[in-house]
Amino acid sequence: MSYFLNEEQQMIVDICKQIVEERIKPVRAELDEKEIFPSDILKEIGQSDLFRLFIPEEYDGMGTGIFEVSLATEELSRGCLSVATSYAASGLGFLPILIAGSEEQKKKYMPDLASGKKLAAFGLTEPEAGSDAGGIKTKAEKNGEYYILNGAKQWITNGGEADIYTIFAMTNPKKGSRGASAFILEKGMEGFEFGKKENKMGIRASATRELIFNNCKVPAENILSREGTGFLIAMKTLDKSRPAVGAQAVGVAQAALEEALNYSKVRKQFNSTISSFQAIRHMLADMATKVEAARSLVYHAAKLIDSGQKNVSRISAMAKMFASDIAMQVTTDAVQIFGGYGYMKEYPVEKMMRDAKILQIYEGTNQIQRDVIALDLIKKGFN
């Protein structure tokens, strides 16, 4: 399908396709099986300037938008969701700096993140605060020139691998979500430690770790904006990043659809290829239609954000929720079309189905997305 991409956008897609074919597909099963973090591939992604996409030119970025990031994320997800997640998680980690950072903070941190020399991570979730983002317990107390952080973050993508972390902590717990603040932390800061790497169902090559703050000393100048703005920074970040989760979903669904389509044309039963059976044809038709609908919604959401529209929570949540539900359905149907072979690790659809599940959970469960959409709908209607 043509999406009227300009020359630059087509180039982004082509570069990603090449990385997928040459670097990702040959090793994705092994990375998954052995839980190997794809450092070399991420280096190559950096050398191909793909981390620069959403970063303004003054901080060594390319100044393109969420649409271009979504194109890159979708293509990388066609290859391997672990790689795409590690790539997208760095963007999620540095978005708070772009949204709320001072000129000095942006100049200090963004160039190395733009080149891919350093990776970022986003630290919001805690053992007792997942969907309830305002309920975080990590504390940040001001002590002279420092904030002292105590607490822990859970299931942090790129945890331990990233150099730069945007962390949300309570500076005034009595105020609830209005008492949260955001900080930039660097790996190696005193009192900043990592827990064990999690053993996951899917995206097994991505790194998910606990972050532990044990009287962690963070220079006071590393606060983003000012005290009390942390929850808002987190929400604004998620509003911008959720379409990229939708793009991950479109990519993995497209990959599963392609695998199922190709297999249906060679697998023979009852002396015919299974693509000649209506049962399979109708499944393929539904899968292709769903992927196309999800892609349209993701691209639309990304373009609305890039157009500068202010209230994007609803469309952003819709894109993430719809596309990830579709990815789960389409990858499950792909396994079904492969039959018993689909359940085996020799074929890639087994991994795609395991990987797809996380998309309905991270960056806000799809139940939370439905809450965000419904609340916005009831408050604002269609104005």
The site for ligand COS (CB under 6 A) is made up of: 124-125, 131-134, 177, 231-232, 235-236, 238-239, 313, 362-364, 368, 371-372
Contact residues for 228 (Cβ-Cβ < 8 A; gap 6+) = 171, 172, 175, 178, 179, 180, 181
Which sequence positions are flagged as catalytic? Answer: 363
Q: Least separation, in Å, of the C-beta of 380 and ligand COS?
A: 11
Of the pair 133, 256, the CB lying nearest ligand COS is at 133
Question: Is 105 within 8 Å of 224 (Cβ atoms)?
Answer: yes
Question: Is 142 within 8 Å of 220 (Cβ atoms)?
Answer: yes
- CA 6 to chain CA mean position, Å: 24
Alpha-carbon separation of residue 238 from 92, 129, 223, 315, 373 (angstroms): 8, 16, 19, 12, 14
- CA 89 to chain CA mean position, Å: 5
Q: Least separation, in Å, of the C-beta of 317 and ligand COS?
A: 9
Of the pair 246, 342, the CB lying nearest ligand COS is at 246
Residue with token string 């969701």? 81
Of the pair 328, 372, the CB lying nearest ligand COS is at 372
Helix (H) or strand (E) holding 315: helix 313-338
Of the pair 236, 300, the CB lying nearest ligand COS is at 236
Q: State which residue has the least CB distance to ligand COS.
A: 364
- Looking at the DSSP bridge assignments, the partners of residue 165 are 121, 185
Q: Least separation, in Å, of the C-beta of 313 and ligand COS?
A: 4
Give the pairing type, strands 192-197 and 208-219: antiparallel
Q: Least separation, in Å, of the C-beta of 376 and ligand COS?
A: 9
Q: Least separation, in Å, of the C-beta of 250 and ligand COS?
A: 19
Two tokens, residue 48: 């191909």
d(CA 221, CA 172): 18
Of the pair 60, 376, the CB lying nearest ligand COS is at 376
